[in-house]
Amino acid sequence: MVKNCCEVCGKTTSLHVHHVDENPLNNSTSNLMTLCSQCHREAHSKHFSAPMVRITCRHCEKPAMKNSLCWTHNTRYQKYGDPLMTKKKIGSDWYLVREHGL
């Protein structure tokens, strides 16, 4: 619901429409908040000041996507059930081989 004053402090000037889930395409009334510029900045800074824990892959130094695995290792995990499995060409055939982890 778009109101004519800030929903946090009641200010009526420099109002912004804030998307609670941060998705600007979600315009359902429950996702919209009327905030003044200052409260709006705070709404976002709270969100962004959450400690960003950088998780790295269990098997390499790349940033992890999910399951503590990087994109490459996670793809292998989904495909082969083992993040260290990879396809290697031996002679003229492809074999599934297990890499040595770091």
Smallest gap from Cβ 91 to Zn ion, in A, equals: 27
Smallest gap from Cβ 95 to Zn ion, in A, equals: 21
Question: Exposure pattern of 8-27 as b/e (b: 16+ CB <10 Å)?
Answer: beeeeeebbebbeeeeeeee
Return residues touching Zn ion (CB under 5 A): 6, 8-9, 11, 18, 36, 39, 57, 59-60, 62, 70, 73
Strands 93-98 and 15-19: unpaired
55/92 with CB nearer Zn ion: 55
3/11 with CB nearer Zn ion: 11
- The answer to whether the beta carbons of residues 43 and 54 sit under 8 Å apart is no
